[in-house]
Amino acid sequence: MEWINGGITAPIGFKAGGVHCGIRPNKTKNDLALIVSQKECSAAGLFTRNVVKAAPVQVDQKALSCPKAIAILANSGIANACAPHDMENALKMQKLAAAALHVDQDDVLIGSTGVIGVDLNVDAIANGLPLLLKNLASDEAGSDAAAKAIMTTDTVKKEKAVCFDLHDKKVKIGGISKGSGMIHPNMGTMLCYLTSDVSIEASVLKEALKEVCDQTFNRISVDGDTSTNDSLIILANGMAENEMIKEKNEDYEVFKNALLQLCTQLAREMARDGEGAKHLITCKVHDCESEEKAEVLAKSVIGSSLTKAAIFGCDANWGRVLCALGYAGQSFDPLKTDISFSSLKGDIAVCKEGKGLAFDEEKALEILKEEEVIIDISLHEGDAEATCWGCDLTYDYVKINGDYRT
């Protein structure tokens, strides 16, 4: 497997684009994205577990009851959730794209992200579609424009692509995602769109997506909130012409591993770009009796406000970490637990068998000043492990969310 350029347009047969259509007041900001496949795709999606689901999520869930699609249309600025005409506008959005592309309405999936409770300006979408169609591109520019169009409080675009071999065929997967706040395990104000030219049956594609999501997007947390609009969608058009993957065989594992690597990077970038964040926090729990238990414990640490605040302050307050492990609802022996902090500046052990160690505070400060801080936890009870990602909690997070709507 190798990393390549091109994002969602790297796979054969995909075009993408993004424009400003007028949903957002800032005319320099793209707010409408379109991804289109040359051929009908096997499609799969995973969505928010929040009981309050935005209209676009409901539309996509219905459309994917027949797991095929050709295009995805998404906007930023307005979430089209809990708004007076949310479902009506979601269906209009889907219908507009279908008419413009001359495809069935259910072959178009949609997405929205932004402010909740405000009606979506569908007229702006209708007016922007001709320019968007004109600007569709199969090169990096198309993916770049689409990636920027789905951003809200994100400070950087999230875009990746990989290439790998299935026997004598080159297969590619590309992805763009957005998410900066209201992100918690089980996804969060997150839109992630993946494309591939792999030939794979939709039911098998859905299984791969679910397995990968559980190890990536469901292992990140920014602020403990789960959004109304979380959507993770993949389209696979088969244009790589590999032998059709119909079951969980060797080809399936190769494809799933490439998808896992790509989604891991996108998930890390979302955690790194958390609202107001200065640090990416990586928590590794290992020597555990099960992967599921290790994941729950690691999630508790990255979700701890006190731990996040300590990392923001570059304070090696390992007690916050041990405390977060203790209320995770999992049994473990604190007197067998070791904790250390590390970064590009080195590593430092701070807790051994549940007791504090004497350590160099200046070295700890140097380690914790780095952009990515790793919290390493060993339970000494088994050989399973899990890694989760989060970010620190800063003053800027409150500033951003204090006036997000206004």
Count of Cβ atoms closer than 10 Å to residue 25 Cβ: 8
Structure tokens at 201: 């049956």
What is the rounded distance in angstroms from the CA atom of residue 22 to the CA atom of residue 116?
17
Phi–psi pair at 122, nearest 5 degrees: -70, -30
Q: Is 189 tagged catalytic?
A: yes
- Cα separation of 163 and 148, whole Å? 23
- The three-class DSSP label of residue 308 is helix
Total length of the chain: 406
In angstroms, the CA 7 to CA 5 distance is 6
Catalytic pick among 113, 153, 189, 282: 189
Q: What is the 3-state secondary structure (H, E, C) of the chain?
A: CEECCCHHHCCCCEEEEEECCCCCCCCCCCCEEEEEEEEEEEEEEEECCCCCCCHHHHHHHHHCCCCEEEEEEEEEEECCCCCCCHHHHHHHHHHHHHHHHCCCHHHEEEEEEEECCCCCCHHHHHHHHHHHHHCCECCHHHHHHHHHHCCCCCCCCEEEEEEEEECCEEEEEEEEEECCCCECCCCECCEEEEEECCCECHHHHHHHHHHHHHHCHHHEECCCCCCCCCEEEEEECCCCCCCCECCCCHHHHHHHHHHHHHHHHHHHHHHHCCCCCCCEEEEEEEEECCHHHHHHHHHHHHHCHHHHHHHHCCCCCHHHHHHHHHCCCCCCCHHHCEEEEEECCEEEEEEECCEECCCCHHHHHHHHCCCEEEEEEECCCCCEEEEEEEECCCHHHHHHHHCCCC
Which amino acid belongs to residue 175?
A: G
DSSP state of 208: H
Which residues participate in catalysis according to the annotation? 189
